[in-house]
Each structure stands twice: as C-alpha cells, then as structure tokens.
Amino acid sequence: MNQPATVAVTGLTVRHRRTVALDALDLSLSPGIHGLLGPNGAGKTSLIRVLATVAAPASGRVELLGGDVGSHGERTAIRRRLGYLPQEFGCYPAFTVREFVAYVAWLKEVPADRAAAAVERAVERVGLADRIDARMKTLSGGMVRRAGIAQAIVNEPELLLLDEPTAGLDPEQRVDFRALLRELGTEATVVVSTHLVEDVAAACTDVALIESGVLAFRGTTAELAALGGESGDPGDSTTNAIERGYTAALRAHRDRLAARPAGQRAKESLR
Ligand SMILES: Nc1ncnc2c1ncn2[C@@H]1O[C@H](COP(=O)(O)OP(=O)(O)OP(=O)(O)O)[C@@H](O)[C@H]1O
C-alpha cells in the first residue's frame, strides 16, 4: 500500500475503427499482481497492448515506470524494463526454446555477459529446462505458452503484462505458474488478463474489472468476493465467492448505466 504507481493511465481511449474498446479509462497500479477481468470484448487486450507500447491510444496519457509512453525516447527506455506475453505470438518455428528466449533477451538489451544465464533461468522458472534445446515447432500448445512466459520474464521486468497466460496450460502447470506469479509479484507490477477466476483467487492482490471499455470495479479480491454475499454453503470456495462477486459487480455496473438519463446514454453511444 502507498507504493508509487508504476502504471498511471488517465483518460485512455482506444478505438478500433468505429469500435470504442476503451472509453476514457483511468487506472493506477503499483507493485503487486493485478487481475484484469471482464467479459469477452470488454477491452482487456486493448488495454494490455497499450501498456505494452505495441498499440497507440486515440487519446489519453499513459505513464509507465515513471516515463511517458507518448515520448519516443522514454518509450524505448521503458520497453527494456517491461515484459509482455501477447494472447498470440509468432516465433520462428525452427528456433529452439533457448534461441527464442535469447532473441528476446537481445531485443531487451540484456547485457551479453548475463544473457545466457538469464535465458536458462527464465526457461527453468517456467518448467521447460528439459526442452530448452527443442525446436519451437516440436512443442505442445501449453509448452509454447510457457516459452512465451519465459521470454516475457527473461529481462526480469519491473512491469510484466500477461494476456491469458494460463490458456492451454494443464492443471499442474497452472498451479506452478500461479506460484511463479506470486514470486514475480513481490517486486514487479504484474498485470494478468484472465478468464479463470481460479488464477485471480490463487495469485492476485487486486482486481480491475472492465466492461465495455470502462472500469466496472476496482478493489481487492476479498472486496470483490464480498459483493457476491454469502452462499450459505459452509464448504464454499474462494473461487466460487469471487465468481459471485464478479457477477454481482457486473450487474451493479450495468444497472448504474441503465439508470443514467437517456440523453446522456444517447450522447455516449455516438462517441
Ligand atoms: N483489430 C480490431 N478491429 C476491430 N475491432 C477490434 C479489434 N480488436 C478488438 N476489437 C474490438 O474492441 C473491443 C475490445 O476488444 P478486446 O480484444 O480488447 O477485448 P478483450 O476484453 O480482450 O476480449 P476477450 O476476453 O474476448 O479476449 C471488442 O468490441 C472487439 O470486438
């Protein structure tokens, strides 16, 4: 608490042609693990892509690690200090895992004398050490995802952005990955977009819930769970409680929108 914000987003609007993916979003994050939740099409990937500096916003200000993403020089310096796992990523299929992760280490300007050890450590942390010299094209989908996580952490980023990191992982790998997340989140600011409430329950310190490009809820996982009320079942799990809270927060947000004057809604639909 009271740590300086490593992500400060104000009035962030992102458009894809006529679709408003993010609508004047304000969000501030400090070190810890932040779960980004929301229904399909809510704007999670659009937000992560702007934070990763791969997409430019239509308007708004984005400050990351104390630098302004709108400034070319600061953006280059910020990129060395962030890690990003996109929802889908391309790689040379003939590269080995080692070569793929080393290539990203080079892009991130990890010093040459430290790069080889950094690659081995990142690959080991995602449980792929025994496949480090296997070609990417021979890996299963879950293993490719883990190689993707390895490339995202190879430079020991201060800001780590993970878009659906657990998609395609088997249950054992998800458990291991959440333990890795908790470890990474002790020092870095980690943003995890996920559909799995179990990921949030097991690893996240707080939650940002996005719906139709605006923030519907922001708070701790316990605060989100409390919105769902008691189930009356003594064996109720934290995951169930958070799922109920998620649903309650979305409904409350939609009710608030519906209660606004018709004129205001009409103006917003034209934006
Ligand atoms: N390249 C694009 N062209 C047109 N519209 C897009 C594009 N990318 C996203 N959108 C639209 O922008 C909105 C936000 O999409 P985004 O991918 O950010 O949502 P999301 O929360 O990540 O969804 P999901 O959970 O399904 O991955 C949606 O209405 C989507 O249809």
Instruction: Flag whether the ipTM exceeds 0.90.
Output: yes
Cα of 42 vs centre of ligand 1, distance in Å, is: 7
Question: If you take atom 2 of ligand 1, which residue's CA is the nearest one?
Answer: 16
Residue 207 DSSP class: E
Interacting residues of 56 by C-beta distance below 8 A, sequence separation 6+: 50
Cα of 13 vs centre of ligand 1, distance in Å, is: 13
For every residue of 62-114, DSSP letters joined together read EEETTEETTSHHHHHHHHHTEEEE-SS----TTSBHHHHHHHHHHHTT--HHH
Give 240-247 contacts, CB < 8 A, sequence gap 24+: 242/197, 242/200, 242/201, 243/197, 246/37, 246/197, 246/209
Q: What is the pLDDT of residue 155?
A: 96
pLDDT one digit per residue (tens) for the chain, 271 residues: 456 789 999 999 999 998 999 999 999 999 999 999 999 999 999 999 999 999 999 999 999 999 999 888 889 899 999 999 998 888 889 999 999 999 999 999 999 999 999 999 999 999 999 999 999 999 988 899 999 999 999 999 999 999 999 888 888 888 888 888 888 888 899 999 998 888 888 889 999 999 999 999 999 999 999 998 877 777 778 888 889 999 999 999 999 888 887 666 555 554 5
Choose the residue to mutate in 14, 45, 164 for probing ligand 1, maximizing ligand atoms within 8 Å of C-beta. 45
Domain ranges of the chain: 34-44+71-261
Q: Is the CB of 44 under 6 A from ligand 1?
A: yes
Q: Is the CB of 2 under 6 A from ligand 1?
A: no
Q: What is the pLDDT of residue 264?
A: 63
pTM of full prediction above 0.90: yes
Q: What is the pLDDT of residue 71?
A: 86
Residue 215 DSSP class: E
The dihedral region occupied by 50, where left means phi > 0, alpha psi between -120 and 50, and beta the remainder, is: alpha
Distance CA 24, CA 206 (A): 21
**Fold held by 34-44+71-261:** Rossmann fold (3.40.50)
